[in-house]
Structure 1
Amino acid sequence: MQGADLCLLSSDFVRFLVYTNILFLISPVFADMVTLGKPIHSHPLEDENAAPVVSVSEDSKTLDAFLRLIYPVESPAFTTLGEVQDVLEATLKYQGNSVIMKPVTDALHSFLPTHALSIFAIACRFDLESEARIAAIAAGLDPRRPTTNFGYVAEMDHISAGAYFRLRWYFWRGPTHDADRRDVYWRRFSFINRNPADCVLPRKLETYNTTKTANADAATTVDVLTTWLGFGLFKRRPADLILRSSDGVAFSAHGFSLSISSPVLARQIEELSASLTESLPVVDVPEPSPLLYLLLCSCYGIPLQLVKGGNGQAVSLSQLSKLVHVARKYGMTRTVDQARMLFRCSLKDEPLRAYFIAVSLGWHSEAQTAARLAVTESSISYVYTPSMEDVSAKAYYNLLQYDVDVQCAADAVVQRYSAKRTLNSGWYPQDSGRTLPELRTFIVHRSTDKLFHTIAQREFGYMKDGKGGDVYMPNLLAESRNMEVELQAAINQVELAFN
């Protein structure tokens, strides 16, 4: 191409000659790539006057379509949604202006009649709220929208569980009879980043969670430095270095204690040289003071406790999750193990929230336990927790599928007990010929025993049909105990997916 002054090399080694004056006008990123030192090279056998070459990560098909949107040539023809997604990703990566964003979004809209859910996921992935809203409305109005598989499509692997929840919430809540209120509600509703006014949490619970988190954070930010010094760790052995947080709080510490807890900090301390203006060497870390304080407590063996109570330093679930991520960064395996043990104690308190946190931390056994507690205690279909924002939508889909599988396993047990009596005939007065007082000696009736509705309903049905005689409480309690054991065994056999 005559006059071209730059060559773009695609990932599959196809070269595109371009004019930089046009390219730089449309994409400031390309301008920076050249002016700020993006590797530029020429083939050794080529003419030394040939255009310099810049390698890019896009393949030739994507790069061709992207460049066609920039230059006055024939527009690209998109045949699949995947092609549009690739060009959209390149457009956002290179900060293409509205001149090329408009035809890309128009191409997205052309697939709305058949791929609304996929377009919603693509829009969420690339933080395009208006496009996500358009796709959600199109999917909601489509009578052919699939109701199976929880409306999940492969593109949702790349969005948050929170965004996926809000899409399901939108479908579930639907229009109200008050059009004005409906318009106000949905106008404030956000699919990608949650608006706290969306009512997905009951107001009391929203206030409680906000207050609880704020109190937990306040407990560690009021004066963490004073609290740290108040432990008396430096009375016998003075501090020999300063660990300074991102918000400028300087924690006194012992280099030896930090080194044996963290190999990463040990290397930083070894490379450290004392400052001329400070009496102690300073290690700067990017963590804020509340988090650094908890990390130091763990290094020095100061016990951590969850916010709900107990001795030690109070930690919320969200802080515990952040602590684990930071401890892994610094190679502090003992801190991770301590946090994991503490986390296990919280599973029964907030199982749904704990499930998503466990998934985000890669703790599969804890996630399985939390999921089992969550689905057996109450319905999870339209229940929100803030920890959804930190994991993929696939984690939420897996939980919904697990809920269905658990229900199927439980239903199989329930159906068996509702169909017929499961104890042998000697347990039933009308079949055994024994008197009720004699049979009562077989079972000790405890006031704490459970009586399952399924079994009681079956017996009342027998009585109504004249088949079962008197309702004999010890029988019902014995069957209920057996049924509870079988239910638990059936539920425990259901596996939670982590793919």
Structure 2
Amino acid sequence: MSQLPAPTFALAPFDNPAADVVLRCRDGVHFRVRSAILLEASPVFAELLAALPCGGATDIQEGPTFEGMPMVVIAEDSDAIDPLLRLCYPTADPVLVDLKDIRPVLAAAIKYQMEEASAVLKKMLLSFLEEQPLRVWAYACLLHLEEEARAAASALLGKELPTKGPEEFHEVSAGDYYRLTKFLRSKGAVEESFTFLKAGSAAAEPPPSKSSTAKPWHCTRELGFTSLPYADIICRSSDGQEFRAHRITLLLASPLLRDGITALCPEAVSGPPPPDALPVLQMGVEGVFLGPLLDMCYAERPPSVYEWHSIYGIVGMMVAARHFGFADILLRLRCGPYLILADRQPLLGYLLAAQLRFPDIAKSRASEMRHDVYESYGYHPEMERTPAHAYHHLLMHRRRSRVLVAAQAAKVGRPAPPPASDTKIQTMAGLRSADGHPWVQGVVRAYADKLGDADTTRDLYRIQPDYEQLLSDSLANKIWCQRCEHNVRLLTDTRHAWKKIRDELFRNDLAFESGGAL
């Protein structure tokens, strides 16, 4: 067997030459250990050691060895194995001062089924409950520890979650975070079958991936690519489908493809290649996405992607369009079929945009969602594949929006106090009142209620005040004094004059078109 690189040795007591087996970590550190201790501490190591040949007694070796001793190559780093072995050896227990230090050690203890070490490490994990319950919950989820996750969630009851989540939220799933939210909102009164680590719903449609060959995306018909004559290049998908296209069309659609096409198709001296010898451009994307994507490169073709009923297919095309630099196609997909489908499934549209790193799209989707995301949209299986930070960020954003709307709505109809120098109260139609005319009070109260109920940005646009109508209504309700009424009528007449001029010009334009001058 070829000699391994010069080893690095672990610190005592794992440098004892009297040991009978060597553990080689991923970072190249060698631990000389006693097999008897490993056999007692771990049934997994017991199986591994039982499968190793005995060293030194024969010239034939059937596995890696070191200094005549059998060697077990393990996937963990020495930073995790050193404290784990110290928990098994008759030495002082290691001191782990940060949650980050506990995680890899406890993960290794669970992997190698070291029950005693796992119990000690779980106690260390829970010792951080008082100061960092949210991070303890996150690590419990990452390590699949149901009891510890429940203990941490219970410690969070009555506490407000921070606006900025811990960095572990990039690893914990949004599904785990949804279940935590459910537990906290119900104040711990959840059903008996409730668990933190298992979703209660069936798996969702799988997200688009380059390696998958399945086609779970539903559409009214198979969307593909219609070949046109005089093709001069073949675009081959990752699953072997071939699409005959035109170099100039691809280059116009994406400058990023220039180098690949140029390398395949140097300037020919004797004209275009024969049809049976067209150059092949490997695209690295599944045909289910590549076909309709290439179809969209040809401007005269109708966008058949609108017939795709699954948002997964559209998002798959968007990922491919971004990869190839099809900027115009990406914009068309985003503003067309994606927008339509995301409006039907707001939470899923946001989760996919956040998961596949479309931050601007995720931001725009978040602003269109209702304030109470948990109650309004509930659970979606795609949460299990989305990082918790995306869902947490959405919840915090909508919560802040709700607070801002409520604060501003509460100020409507409450005028600021007049300056100290003002001793006279303004009058409105002879009514001496700092609160305004009763009709105005009614309008303001009704509008304040509408503002308080506004749940999305679109709601705000729908309830935008119609000041022209308000002025007309105020004249009809006789709320102005004689001088003010005259001024208000002048303002409304200005608006009416603008509308009359607009309408006359529009009718004149129609007469020009119908007169056959063009």
2:482 aligned residue:
none
- Aligned partner of residue 374 in structure 1, secondary structure: coil
CA distance change for structure 1 residues 288 and 380 in 2, over 3 Å: closer, same or farther? same
CA distance change for structure 1 residues 153 and 293 in 2, over 3 Å: closer, same or farther? same
Offset of 1:65 from its aligned partner?
1.0
Residues 157 and 184 in structure 2, CA contact (< 8 A), matched pair in contact too: no
Structure 1 letter corresponding to 2:247: F
Q: How does 1:126-205 map to 2 (within 5 A)?
A: 126=143, 128=144, 131=145, 133-142=146-155, 146-149=159-162, 153-173=166-186, 182-183=191-192, 185-186=193-194, 191-192=196-197, 194-196=199-201
Aligned residues: 391
Q: Which structure 1 residue ranges, 5 or more long, are not aligned? A: 43-47, 199-205, 208-213, 273-277, 307-311, 434-438, 458-471, 479-499
Q: How does 1:77-116 map to 2 (within 5 A)?
A: 77-90=95-108, 96-98=111-113, 100=114, 103-104=117-118, 106-112=120-126, 114=130
Which of 130, 136, 140 is matched with 1:123 structurally?
A: 140
Which of 238, 241, 245 is matched with 1:254 structurally?
A: 245
Offset of 1:86 from its aligned partner?
2.6
Offset of 1:164 from its aligned partner?
0.5
Q: How does 1:412-431 map to 2 (within 5 A)?
A: 412-420=407-415, 428-431=428-431
C-alpha distance after superposition, 1:361-393 (max 9, x if no partner): 444443333222214xx5224333535444322
C-alpha distance after superposition, 1:405-425 (max 9, x if no partner): 223322332222243599998
What is the distance in 2 between the residues matched to 1:111 and 1:117? Answer: 12
Offset of 1:16 from its aligned partner?
4.2
Which of 83, 86, 93 is matched with 1:68 structurally?
A: 86
1:488 aligned residue:
none
What is the distance in 1 between the residues matched to 2:250 and 2:348? Answer: 34
Offset of 1:28 from its aligned partner?
6.7
Offset of 1:168 from its aligned partner?
0.8
What is the distance in 1 between the residues matched to 2:46 and 2:261? Answer: 44
C-alpha distance after superposition, 1:97-152 (max 9, x if no partner): 21x366235522554354554333123334x2xx1x32343245448652343895
1:241 aligned residue:
234
CA distance change for structure 1 residues 422 and 168 in 2, over 3 Å: closer, same or farther? same
CA distance change for structure 1 residues 69 and 364 in 2, over 3 Å: closer, same or farther? same
Q: Which structure 2 residue ranges, 5 or more long, are not aligned? A: 1-15, 53-60, 206-213, 266-275, 419-423, 453-471, 480-518
Q: How does 1:209-358 map to 2 (within 5 A)?
A: 217-219=217-219, 223-224=222-223, 227-228=224-225, 231=226, 233-234=227-228, 236-237=229-230, 241=234, 243-246=236-239, 250-254=241-245, 256=247, 260=251, 261=254, 263=256, 267=260, 287-301=285-299, 302=301, 304=303, 312-314=306-308, 316-342=310-336, 343=338, 349-358=344-353
2:401 aligned residue:
406
Offset of 1:85 from its aligned partner?
0.7
Offset of 1:264 from its aligned partner?
6.2
Q: Which protein has the larger Cα radius of gyration, Structure 1 or Structure 2?
A: 2
Offset of 1:268 from its aligned partner?
8.6
Q: How does 1:422-441 map to 2 (within 5 A)?
A: 428-431=428-431
Offset of 1:240 from its aligned partner?
5.1
- Aligned partner of residue 241 in structure 1, secondary structure: strand
Residues 304 and 314 in structure 1, CA contact (< 8 A), matched pair in contact too: no
- Aligned partner of residue 217 in structure 1, secondary structure: coil
CA distance change for structure 1 residues 223 and 124 in 2, over 3 Å: closer, same or farther? same
2:468 aligned residue:
none
Which of 51, 58, 66 is matched with 2:77 structurally?
A: 58
C-alpha distance after superposition, 1:452-482 (max 9, x if no partner): 154999xxxxxxxxxxxxxx9639999xxxx
- Aligned partner of residue 68 in structure 1, secondary structure: helix
CA distance change for structure 1 residues 287 and 475 in 2, over 3 Å: closer, same or farther? farther
What is the distance in 1 between the residues matched to 2:476 and 2:174? Answer: 43
Larger proportion of helix: 1
CA distance change for structure 1 residues 102 and 151 in 2, over 3 Å: closer, same or farther? farther
- Aligned partner of residue 243 in structure 2, secondary structure: strand
Offset of 1:2 from its aligned partner?
1.0
Residues 358 and 364 in structure 1, CA contact (< 8 A), matched pair in contact too: yes
What is the distance in 2 between the residues matched to 1:14 and 1:456? Answer: 64
Residues 257 and 299 in structure 1, CA contact (< 8 A), matched pair in contact too: no
Residues 354 and 390 in structure 2, CA contact (< 8 A), matched pair in contact too: yes
CA distance change for structure 1 residues 195 and 290 in 2, over 3 Å: closer, same or farther? farther
Offset of 1:153 from its aligned partner?
4.8
CA distance change for structure 1 residues 217 and 364 in 2, over 3 Å: closer, same or farther? closer
Structure 2 letter corresponding to 1:194: A
2:211 aligned residue:
none
- Aligned partner of residue 409 in structure 1, secondary structure: helix
Offset of 1:154 from its aligned partner?
4.8
Identify the range of structure 1 (106-115 vs 70-79) with the bigger mean alpha-carbon deviation. Answer: 70-79
- Aligned partner of residue 196 in structure 1, secondary structure: coil
C-alpha distance after superposition, 1:291-344 (max 9, x if no partner): 2333333344455477xxxxx553633323222323334444444343333345
Offset of 1:399 from its aligned partner?
2.3
Which of 342, 359, 363 is matched with 1:368 structurally?
A: 363
1:380 aligned residue:
373
What is the distance in 2 between the residues matched to 1:174 and 1:455? Answer: 31
Structure 1 letter corresponding to 2:386: V
1:309 aligned residue:
none
What is the distance in 2 between the residues matched to 1:476 and 1:70? Answer: 89
> With structure 2 as the length reference, what TM-score do the two structures score?
0.56
What is the distance in 2 between the residues matched to 1:476 and 1:162? Answer: 56
Residues 260 and 281 in structure 2, CA contact (< 8 A), matched pair in contact too: no
